[in-house]
Amino acid sequence: MSVPLWQPAYVGLGSNLDDPAAHLRRALDELARIANTRLVARSRLYRTPPLGPPDQPDYVNAVAGLLTLQEPEALLDLLNEVEARHGRERTGTKWGPRTLDLDLLLYGDRELSTERLVLPHPGAHERCFVLVPLAEIAPDVRIPGRGRVATLAQACAAGSIIALD
């Protein structure tokens, strides 16, 4: 019988409604309480412009580093439960305003493409609101097929990202 191994996983957090910083701080606390998972790193909070429609408030973003025994899709289910507790509704405009968005960015060096989950997260390698906080907590992590996080973050136009704490 094989013993499950702890896997590193990185989660992107974002919010732009109803006190976004408070949503992210609470969500980080909730990530620390996921079964068979440990919150081992958290970036600062960052204010960022919206990726989607421009007629919405700026976002607050962060990245959390986890060690987990959960499989990727099971972890995704647990992240969706955290979102739901924050009033997240998965209807409306793509990249529109939301109380909480949790994206599973990386799960070890796993590459996966299912109907529900793509790893690494598509676009993570080119989004400054992901790369800057990820580089803060895990600069040497590699995004499979894309390169080292710190190198990718240096290529960002990060001037529009403002650290909040």
Range 18-44 average pLDDT = 97
Residue 165 pLDDT > 80: no
In a domain, 110, yes or no: yes
Range with the lowest mean pLDDT among 14-23, 25-34, 67-76, 85-94?
85-94
pLDDT band at 95 (very low <50, low <70, confident <90, very high): low
Q: How many CA atoms lie within 13 A of 165 on its CB side?
A: 11
Q: What is the mean pLDDT of the chain?
A: 92
- Overall domain count for the chain: 1
Note the pLDDT tens digit of each residue in 128-137. 999 999 999 9
Residues that are catalytic = 88, 98, 101, 103
In total, the chain counts a number of residues equal to 165
In a domain, 2, yes or no: no
Range 57-81 average pLDDT = 97
Q: What is the pLDDT, as a whole number, of residue 97?
A: 81
Residue 156 pLDDT > 90: no
In a domain, 74, yes or no: yes
Residue 112 pLDDT > 80: yes
Residue 92 pLDDT > 80: no
C-alpha to C-alpha distance for 24 and 28, rounded to whole angstroms: 6
Quick one: which H or E segment has residue 30? helix 20-31
Q: What is the pLDDT, as a whole number, of residue 89?
A: 73
For 123, other C-beta atoms within 10 Å of its C-beta total 12
C-alpha to C-alpha distance for 39 and 91, rounded to whole angstroms: 29
C-alpha to C-alpha distance for 85 and 157, rounded to whole angstroms: 33
User: In Å, what is the CA distance from 158 to each residue of 16, 54, 135, 146?
Assistant: 19, 18, 12, 18
In a domain, 1, yes or no: no
In a domain, 108, yes or no: yes
Cis peptide before 144 (omega within 30 of 0): no
Looking up residue 81, the CATH number of its domain turns out to be 3.30.70.560
| Percent of the chain at pLDDT exceeding 70 | 94
| Percent of the chain at pLDDT exceeding 90 | 81
Domain span at 125: 7-163
Q: What is the pLDDT, as a whole number, of residue 54?
A: 79
Residue 64 pLDDT > 90: yes
In a domain, 93, yes or no: yes
Q: What is the pLDDT, as a whole number, of residue 158?
A: 66
Range 92-119 average pLDDT = 90
